[in-house]
Chains A and B, each alone.
Chain A
Amino acid sequence: GESVGLHLPTLSVQEGDNSIINCAYSNSASDYFIWYKQESGKGPQFIIDIRSNMDKRQGQRVTVLLNKTVKHLSLQIAATQPGDSAVYFCAESSGGGADGLTFGKGTHLIIQP
């Protein structure tokens, strides 16, 4: 079936720098995209989402960018903090179905002091 994946398994950044986590998807019918943060021993926690009729959406310190032409999604985290250390997952759904989300493999973000 269609898959959602991430380019890098681990990303290490300095505290205070900006982080960019990338995600590629292959299902051209995908119309909803979401980023989750997963801390050790916990379930995925919603960060931000975006629908296919948008190319950018901003939250508090986070921005999601969607490029439908190349099927690419990115999560930007501004001024990273130690609490941002986690695994970040992108996920997508192809609209109309009730069968949940399709997840990528995740990127482990490490914040260096």
Chain B
Amino acid sequence: NAGVTQTPKFRILKIGQSMTLQCAQDMNHNYMYWYRQDPGMGLKLIYYSVGAGITDKGEVPNGYNVSRSTTEDFPLRLELAAPSQTSVYFCASSAVRSNSPLHFGNGTRLTVT
């Protein structure tokens, strides 16, 4: 059982470039999340989705976009990469709305120079 799969594992972008971080889960979870983790810090919520076709902003959404066309996939888009977006990005999913563990992928390490 793969769980939550994130690709790529690593990426280096130049300022102003764009890219899409991929996230897929095979657990048929309705709820999916994108977090970023900066060095020595906890995870901050970027966007989340409660089901296909529905997305909402989290704590730090600026500079990012998401879509949820299927239950399985929840890609995160960076349109104009900035150095402040250098971080490790984690995707997570959950079967229920709240008060339950999130299942995390292994992250994408992004460097913007």
Contacts and interface: CB of A to CB of B under 8 A. Distances in A.
Contact of A96 (B4, B35, B48, B98): B98
Interface in A1-52: 1, 4, 9, 31-32, 34, 41-46, 49, 51
Interface stretch (B36-44, B65-73, B75-83): B36-44
Contacts of A95: 98-99
Given A104-B42, A105-B40, A97 B90 contact: no
Interface residues of B, number: 29
Contacts of A100: 31, 33, 35, 45, 48, 58, 92, 94, 102
B99 A99 contact: no
Contacts of A42: 106-107
A104 B37 CA distance: 11
Given A1-B59, A89-B42, A105-B41, A98 B104 contact: no
20 contacts: A4-B42, A32-B100, A34-B101, A41-B107, A42-B106, A43-B106, A44-B102, A44-B104, A46-B101, A46-B102, A46-B103, A95-B99, A98-B97, A100-B35, A100-B48, A101-B102, A103-B42, A103-B43, A105-B41, A106-B40
